[in-house]
A and B are shown apart, each in its own frame.
Chain A
């Protein structure tokens, strides 16, 4: 557990560096997380995935099935890994402010 300073505010992270409070999420946090998840430059495609994940999470309280994420965003799994090298369950969820998926992932 640790804290990061985002625009003058202390934001709490869990052991894996994910947001403890999903409501703390903002665009500045995305840029900070991007560095630790090997995302060099945030493109429109990154935002498409991030926004999609946030929408899904708001509705269903969890991350979408990986294949559904691909189908709905029109990206292949390979492209998702290119965008988020640490993977859909880790990098993509973390940047979108979702909690870390638990279980066998």
Chain B
């Protein structure tokens, strides 16, 4: 069985500091890594022991619904690891082997791990509907971590990790390139507003460190512009760090040590520039990684971490906003609405910026993933990605005509337009929530004719 994604070759794996385990040692190394995780991720083992196969989660997983593949049924996916756990870590498994639903670890199992743990979007929707709260995303995170420790990782993840090592961001943006992008965005804002709105880079003694998504420096320019306009209006002392031009943290999506390194880069940048507040840009999983793991990676930190949508929501009444004549809906990024504490803030912001806001169904904490979650943006997975996005397309279709689909996460921003096109849903704009703030800001142009 050949996994549907391109795996990184050995020289690339080595280039980011990993080694490739020989096939004859796969089993031993996997069991070692599982034993490590058993001790560090206690919740994982509870999840591996508890499932009663009630089937509740099946209809709640867009991955299973979209692909129709049994192994994408959350309990079946988790079972790929559970069987190995039972065989080698429980008394019954050790004594009776296969009789207890336990399974020998072999290359076939390994190849299924690669295939199906990279068809889980880590969206955590299954956990909401499981009577025991079993969160298959945690099993997926553990499995991807173990795979990467064997030297098995998608080329897509490897190339991002490599760019992160070189530049601190996913796209490999150097400081020189960052400054050029900033200059361009400042010119754009000057042309539009007549004001000298700055995006300060590496400014020492800043109160606020704003961490954008690197994609805002390539495709999602309006998100960065919206944020700059907000900070400008509020008159705060802020900067962006060229060393961590990245709210994302793909480590969470394939290797937990890589995640900690990125957390530490963030920590170092905040300390260096003296910020007491770190504001994270529009990125779903990066929010989870920053909020939940920065202190874990670096110990107690002398700054507070907020999401830009929380920050904007808190200051909403101070911003001069007019309502744009638009009908807008919101796609809740999974990492905001399920455990990320961000549900109402984007709604309040959007309502302040546009005339009509409509909810898709289901929404908020029950929303369906876009199908790109956990970094499944590989070109070679396009067909599967479209199946993973099927539920999202159905949700948008049910709304009828809209003008704008707000998607405040860079992975969703990359995945959703392709999904919409694939399912023939066009004729509306797609972009961030901060983009709307930027567009709704009222400016009295000094040289107004």
CB contacts (< 8 Å) of A65 on chain B: these are: 181, 184, 217-219, 221
Binds A, one of B120-128, B166-174, B299-307, B351-359: B166-174
Which residue of B163, B221, B377 contacts A67 across the interface (Cβ within 8 Å)?
B221
A105 within 8 A of B: yes
A89 within 8 A of B: yes
B379 within 8 A of A: yes
Q: How far is the CA of A59 from the CA of B414 in the complex (A)?
A: 26
Known: A15-B380, A60-B177, A60-B180. A102 touches B218 (CB 8 A): no
CB contacts (< 8 Å) of A16 on chain B: these are: 6, 379-380
Which residue of A14, A15, A103 contacts B248 across the interface (Cβ within 8 Å)?
A103
Q: How far is the CA of A87 from the CA of B50 in the complex (A)?
A: 46
Question: Measured between C-beta atoms, what is the minimum distance from A64 to chain B in Å?
Answer: 8
CB contacts (< 8 Å) of A103 on chain B: these are: 160, 163, 169-171, 214-215, 218, 248, 410
Known: A15-B6, A104-B414. A61 touches B218 (CB 8 A): no
A101 touches B221 (CB 8 A): no
CB contacts (< 8 Å) of B217 on chain A: these are: 65
Known: A1-B9, A15-B380, A60-B176. A102 touches B171 (CB 8 A): yes
B209-240 contact mask (Cβ, 8 Å, vs A): 1 or 0: 00001110111010000000000000000000
B177 touches A62 (CB 8 A): yes
Known: A15-B380, A103-B160. A60 touches B174 (CB 8 A): yes
CB contacts (< 8 Å) of B379 on chain A: these are: 16, 90
Question: Measured between C-beta atoms, what is the minimum distance from B229 to chain A in Å?
Answer: 16
Q: How far is the CA of A102 from the CA of B159 in the complex (A)?
A: 7
Main secondary structure of the interface of A (DSSP, over half): loop
Which residue of B171, B380, B414 contacts A62 across the interface (Cβ within 8 Å)?
B171
CB contacts (< 8 Å) of B162 on chain A: these are: 102
A104 touches B213 (CB 8 A): yes
B147 within 8 A of A: no
CB contacts (< 8 Å) of A19 on chain B: these are: none
B266 within 8 A of A: no
B215 touches A105 (CB 8 A): yes
Question: Measured between C-beta atoms, what is the minimum distance from A45 to chain B in Å?
Answer: 21
CB contacts (< 8 Å) of A71 on chain B: these are: 184
A66 within 8 A of B: yes
A101 touches B171 (CB 8 A): yes
Within 8 A of A (CB), among B369-397: 377, 379-380
Within 8 A of A (CB), among B156-198: 156, 159-160, 162-163, 169-174, 176-177, 180-181, 184, 188
CB contacts (< 8 Å) of B156 on chain A: these are: 102
Tally chain B residues at the interface, Cβ within 8 Å: 36
Q: Could you count the A-B residue pairs with CB atoms below 8 Å apart for me: how many are there? A: 78
B172 touches A102 (CB 8 A): yes
B413 within 8 A of A: yes
CB contacts (< 8 Å) of B160 on chain A: these are: 102-103
B290-302 contact mask (Cβ, 8 Å, vs A): 1 or 0: 0000000000000
CB contacts (< 8 Å) of B283 on chain A: these are: 104
B439 within 8 A of A: no
CB contacts (< 8 Å) of B80 on chain A: these are: none
Which residue of B177, B188, B219 contacts A105 across the interface (Cβ within 8 Å)?
B219
Q: Specify the chain B residue showing the minimal Cβ separation from A72.
A: B184
CB contacts (< 8 Å) of A1 on chain B: these are: 9
B155 within 8 A of A: yes
CB contacts (< 8 Å) of B176 on chain A: these are: 60-61
CB contacts (< 8 Å) of A101 on chain B: these are: 171, 218
Q: How far is the CA of A1 from the CA of B9 in the complex (A)?
A: 9
B155 touches A62 (CB 8 A): no
Q: How far is the CA of A15 from the CA of B155 in the complex (A)?
A: 8
Question: Measured between C-beta atoms, what is the minimum distance from B165 to chain A in Å?
Answer: 12
Known: A102-B160, A103-B163. A62 touches B219 (CB 8 A): no
A104 touches B411 (CB 8 A): yes
Instruction: List 16 interface pairs A-B (beta carbons < 8 Å), by A numbering.
Output: A60-B176, A60-B177, A60-B180, A62-B172, A63-B218, A65-B184, A89-B219, A101-B171, A101-B218, A102-B160, A103-B163, A103-B171, A103-B215, A103-B410, A104-B248, A104-B411
Other A-B pairs beyond A65-B219, A102-B163, A102-B170, 6, CB < 8 Å: A14-B155, A61-B174, A101-B171, A101-B218, A104-B215, A104-B283
- Enumerate the 5 nearest inter-chain pairs by beta-carbon distance, A residue then B residue, closest first: A103-B170, A104-B410, A60-B177, A15-B6, A104-B215
List residues of chain B with CB under 8 Å of any chain A CB. 6, 9, 155-156, 159-160, 162-163, 169-174, 176-177, 180-181, 184, 188, 213-215, 217-219, 221, 248, 283, 377, 379-380, 410-411, 413-414
